[in-house]
Structure 1
Amino acid sequence: MENMQRLYPIGIQTFSKIREGNYLYIDKTEYVYRMTHFASNYMFLSRPRRFGKSLLTSTLHSYFSGCKELFKGLAIEKLETEWTEYPVLHFDMSTAKHAGKDELISELERKLAAYERIYSRNEEDIYINQRLQGLIERAYKQTGKQVVVLIDEYDAPLLDVVHERENLDVLRNIMRNFYSPLKACDPYLRYVFLTGITKFSQLSIFSELNNIKNISMDKTYAAICGISEEEIRTQMKEDVNWFADGLRITPEEVLAKLKENYDGYHFTYPSPDIYNPFSLMNAFTDREFKSYWFGSGTPTYLIKMLKKFDVAPSEIGEIHADVTSFDAPTETMTNITPLLYQSGYITIKDYDEELEIYTLDIPNREVRVGLMKSLLPNYTGSSAQEAITTMAYFSRDIRNGDMDTALRRLQTFLSTVPYCDNTKYEGHYQQMLYVIFSLLGYYVDVEVRTPRGRVDMVLRTNTTLYVMELKLDKDASSAMEQINLKDYPERFALCGLPVVKVAVSFDCDRGTISDWKIVGNI
């Protein structure tokens, strides 16, 4: 196993390159056959970034190009008998990100020109919609076969300006114009497939094309992108054993770690557990459990929107909503939920059939820790790296059951960092501790109901449950009195862990902890 030379397709989104290069390919070709034989000829799929949308589109490209040899040994080999070659027009719109009006038109013209060199161009076709329509018609006439149109990341040119009404309208009109021939060209089209992050109806681009089947929440296609637990246990069984040998742990321990860090995605309900494929491939390559997906793109826009909608870190998870709430147009959203869901920061965790209400939450440890790392500087007023270093030592203190040293360390750290906004608000410190404890990977909750009131914060480690009361500009004794008066620990008597009461007082002028009291083993 140590000599195993498995190649993992990190960053490779071209099906032919993966197959010809002998990279690991998780077989999704049964879905490809089903998509192209039993459903609408116009289909749309929404998934978060780096979830395999582009690879799926590339797989369709190879399939419709009749590349039978690339599918040898895969599920579709036993299903397909014809392997007809169709003309394929494949447009990757991710190259049109961060573009203004002129740049966007120029990029679309460049994409059309590449196919016009194959199927020629009618000089009377001036505008991009005319050129696309003429291209489809000529490809059909020249080959005698209907045309396949694949559009990957159809919404990429619009995502950066989705909340800039003036710019959005201009760019949206360009894209609407570009896509408009798809309806008129229906007689010449064999298949149309689009991918994106936002649902196609949300950006009002395809208002005339009303026959697109959206398979994003179709149970049949729940595992079409990403990697399911079954696929890991079957198609990656040897990889798991190799991973385990390298770390000198059991395969089941590897699977548990992978599940904790990268699993937890569901795009419908019920759904198999779906793992983030980008993170999974990186983890197997490095044989380490690092933060890969979150680290691959700084969510500056997300952090900005969290501030705009005044969303506290503790409010990001455990959201209850009907489908219209989290799958709503992001351009007119009145809360952060649609953006969080479509971007992959929260996912479906449960569904109440009677009420038709979904429960949405952060999918896994990788996303939770990544989010909290990004939010931490907002609460400590320091650089992310400085804060993370301090948190590493803080984590060790908590792990050792030494809350006193942990609070002393935090007091010193907060005393040395620059001024931070909102330090005169008690909720600021509550959310700061929530972010810190979440970073450590422990269960933490705020405003926990008890028969006699609400506990400011509950922290559960592997060995201890901490019941915490926070006060601003009052001594810690008053916080401890409140814990004792309302007998908060009684609510947690059956948790199976020692319960420790922690009263913490913050000084708003100094922006740090003033004093604290700890009473243990209740």
Structure 2
Amino acid sequence: MEQMRKLPIGIQTFEEIRKENYLYVDKTAMVYQIVNSGKPYFLSRPRRFGKSLLLSTFEAYFQGRKDLFQGLAIEKLETKWEQYPVFHLDLNAEKYDCAESLNQMLSRNLTLLEEEWGSDVAEMTLSTRFSGVIRRASEQTGKQVVVLIDEYDKPLLQAILNEPLLDEYRSILKAFYGVLKSSDRYLRFVFLTGVTKFAQVSVFSDLNQLNDISMDKEYNALCGITKDELVKVFTPEIQRLSENEELTFEETLSRLERQYDGYHFCENTVIGLFNPFSLLNVFQKTKFGNYWFQTGTPTYLVSLLKQSDYDLRLLVNGVEVTASAFSEYRAEANNPLPMIYQSGYLTIKDYDKEFLLYTLAFPNDEVRYGFLNFLVPFYTKVTDDETGFHIAKFMRELRAHDVNAFMERLKVFFAGIPYDLSGNTERHYQAVFYIVFTLMGQFVDTEVRSSRGRADAVVKTKDTIFVFEFKLDGSAEDALKQIDEKDYLIPYRLDGRRLVKIGVNFSKETRNIERYLVEE
């Protein structure tokens, strides 16, 4: 068997990747451009998207480690290779359950820096200590200092639904990060990364000189992997995967695109980005899976969705919004979009230049089906483990034309609607309906209504097309009548497959399917 090349799964240190001969997608041309065209930067990207490796690359560059960049694009661009004092703070490794834990983490980082550059007993606060150690490092070396802060917002995300604790974290971090403005003359380069954007966060009100490149077209591909980079760097891995999955090279590439591609971080970008963590894992395990989604549980996002009574159909089909509607840092129940977008579960799919409107949607199948599958237990009594079983059964039952079994199984999902929803019953029922039928789309061609004039759902198997119409406190007869009166079958008349109409009455009182009729 051919020896597998080394894939840097979980390795975020540039030096280790280069010294140990791990595969590396060369982003150093952009690194060079950034460090030579500005000083204070901010970049927002979802988790596991290469932010930590990027900061490690900056660190090696500013340490003058020319040896680590041999053969890379930057080798032909840089001629000086100067060495600077580098302060690299990583906020990702801690659990922040109280203000003291955040204070202690920042203090430990400062103590390590003070052991190298000295301290002053007059510096009593975190901000004065940070300011002092920056100044001393610059004075002792005669060089300005480089400050790299990874996951600046990790404490804020952990307290997202705890407003009092969130306020404490904001206060601590505002004073700490504010040093980066007051110490400007001692700083050569500053780069902060995080999941959430800083524009509307009070924690950055004193650091308004940061250049947010999160939505800059020039740096769209700074983190993530393009299709060209995928083929250039990973062709042997794609071939190995195609053999294991019994697919052609092109079929494998197409499935990789559907499953892991599709991220766009600015408007009008034709080239999408693959999730690097998912790609590395699918190549290492030589099988497709939801690798990125399994590394985090978006419980707080689900809480925001339920509190807002948000229409899930908008997430499934894509929602059109202004930039401020998805780029602000606000964990508000009436607008969960910013957190869902910035966490990586939605991405930019289209942009209307005339009206300055963005269309946000799921980037790919991994996120779409992973997110919806995760939602099921929060909207029904069906557990996460049971969901896949039921969806598989749904498909088998329709393929066998056993509509009765299908409808009885569907009742299991609606049985979980709680009785304390009062006026929210309709939205909740629609959410369950949408989740179930969209999840079925993993295995067959499924259309779920996104506008008036179409049936609620259409499921296409090899030999049959099932057209569903649901009525809330109506009747099954009315549902069938609507299918005929509005000619929902017209798009499928010439298809050649058997056409089956299913009219369903959903009762608001019982919160479940009350009656259904099947007609061919």
Q: Does TM, normalized by the shorter one, top 0.5?
A: yes
Residue 196 of structure 1 aligns with which residue?
A: 194
| Letter aligned with residue 448 of structure 2 | D
Residue 260 of structure 1 aligns with which residue?
A: 258
Q: Please report how far the alpha carbon of residue 161 of structure 1 lies from its aligned counterpart in structure 2 after TM superposition.
A: 2.5
Residue 345 of structure 2 aligns with which residue?
A: 345
Question: Which range is displaced more, 222-231 or 73-82?
Answer: 73-82
Within 2, Cα distance between the matches of 1:495 and 1:361?
A: 29
Q: Deviations over 1:448-469 (max 9, x none)?
A: 322xxx6333445566543321
Q: Deviations over 1:44-91 (max 9, x none)?
A: 100111111111011111111111111121111111111111110000
Is contact 1:458-1:466 (8 Å) kept?
A: yes
Q: Deviations over 1:284-342 (max 9, x none)?
A: 11111111111111111111010011013222241111111111231457412111111
Within 2, Cα distance between the matches of 1:426 and 1:307?
A: 13
Q: Please report how far the alpha carbon of residue 519 of structure 1 lies from its aligned counterpart in structure 2 after TM superposition.
A: 3.3
Q: 1:418 to 1:347 in 2, by over 3 A?
A: closer
Q: Please report how far the alpha carbon of residue 346 of structure 1 lies from its aligned counterpart in structure 2 after TM superposition.
A: 0.8
Residue 119 of structure 2 aligns with which residue?
A: 121
The structure 2 residue matched to 1:251, chosen from 217, 235, 249, is 249
Is contact 1:423-1:429 (8 Å) kept?
A: no
Residue 227 of structure 1 aligns with which residue?
A: 225
Within 2, Cα distance between the matches of 1:13 and 1:36?
A: 20
Q: Please report how far the alpha carbon of residue 115 of structure 1 lies from its aligned counterpart in structure 2 after TM superposition.
A: 1.2
Within 1, Cα distance between the matches of 2:518 and 2:67?
A: 68
- Unaligned runs of at least 5 residues, structure 1: none
Name the SS of the counterpart of 2:193 in structure 1.
strand
**What percent of counterpart residues are identical?**
42
Within 1, Cα distance between the matches of 2:249 and 2:400?
A: 30
Report matched runs for 1:487-506 at 5 Å.
Answer: 487-490=487-490, 499-506=499-506
Residue 88 of structure 1 aligns with which residue?
A: 86
Name the SS of the counterpart of 2:358 in structure 1.
strand
Is contact 1:446-1:456 (8 Å) kept?
A: yes
Is contact 2:309-2:427 (8 Å) kept?
A: no
Residue 448 of structure 1 aligns with which residue?
A: 451
Question: Which range is displaced more, 425-434 or 298-307?
Answer: 425-434
Name the SS of the counterpart of 2:199 in structure 1.
helix
Residue 433 of structure 2 aligns with which residue?
A: 433
Question: Which range is displaced more, 104-113 or 418-427?
Answer: 418-427
Q: Deviations over 1:454-500 (max 9, x none)?
A: 63334455665433211346552332122223322236657787654
Residue 213 of structure 1 aligns with which residue?
A: 211
The structure 2 residue matched to 1:184, chosen from 162, 182, 191, is 182
| Letter aligned with residue 516 of structure 1 | Y
Name the SS of the counterpart of 2:254 in structure 1.
helix
Within 2, Cα distance between the matches of 1:82 and 1:315?
A: 52
Residue 328 of structure 1 aligns with which residue?
A: 328
Q: Please report how far the alpha carbon of residue 412 of structure 1 lies from its aligned counterpart in structure 2 after TM superposition.
A: 6.9
Is contact 2:198-2:329 (8 Å) kept?
A: no
Q: How many positions carry a matched residue from both structures? A: 513
Q: Please report how far the alpha carbon of residue 96 of structure 1 lies from its aligned counterpart in structure 2 after TM superposition.
A: 4.3
Within 2, Cα distance between the matches of 1:229 and 1:83?
A: 31
Give the alignment's TM-score, normalised by structure 2: 0.92
Determine if the alignment matches structure 1 residue 373 to structure 2 residue 373: yes
Question: Which range is displaced more, 315-324 or 143-152?
Answer: 315-324
Name the SS of the counterpart of 2:121 in structure 1.
coil
Name the SS of the counterpart of 2:451 in structure 1.
strand
Question: Which range is displaced more, 138-147 or 164-173?
Answer: 164-173
Report matched runs for 1:96-495 at 5 Å.
Answer: 96-271=94-269, 272-317=271-316, 318-331=318-331, 334-398=334-398, 400=399, 402=401, 404=403, 407-410=406-409, 413=412, 420-421=418-419, 425=425, 427-440=427-440, 441=442, 442-446=445-449, 448-450=451-453, 455-460=455-460, 465-472=465-472, 475-490=475-490
Q: Deviations over 1:102-155 (max 9, x none)?
A: 221111000111111111212221111111111111111221211100011111
Within 1, Cα distance between the matches of 2:332 and 2:404?
A: 47
Is contact 1:136-1:185 (8 Å) kept?
A: yes
Q: Please report how far the alpha carbon of residue 191 of structure 1 lies from its aligned counterpart in structure 2 after TM superposition.
A: 0.4
Q: Deviations over 1:412-431 (max 9, x none)?
A: 7459x667445994554443
Name the SS of the counterpart of 2:5 in structure 1.
coil
Q: 1:254 to 1:149 in 2, by over 3 A?
A: same
| Letter aligned with residue 393 of structure 1 | K
Q: Deviations over 1:252-303 (max 9, x none)?
A: 1111111111111100122221011111111111111111111111111111
| Letter aligned with residue 26 of structure 1 | V
Name the SS of the counterpart of 1:209 in structure 2.
coil
Within 2, Cα distance between the matches of 1:448 and 1:320?
A: 14
Within 2, Cα distance between the matches of 1:195 and 1:434?
A: 35
Q: Please report how far the alpha carbon of residue 237 of structure 1 lies from its aligned counterpart in structure 2 after TM superposition.
A: 1.7
Give the alignment's TM-score, normalised by structure 1: 0.91
- Unaligned runs of at least 5 residues, structure 2: none
Residue 25 of structure 2 aligns with which residue?
A: 26
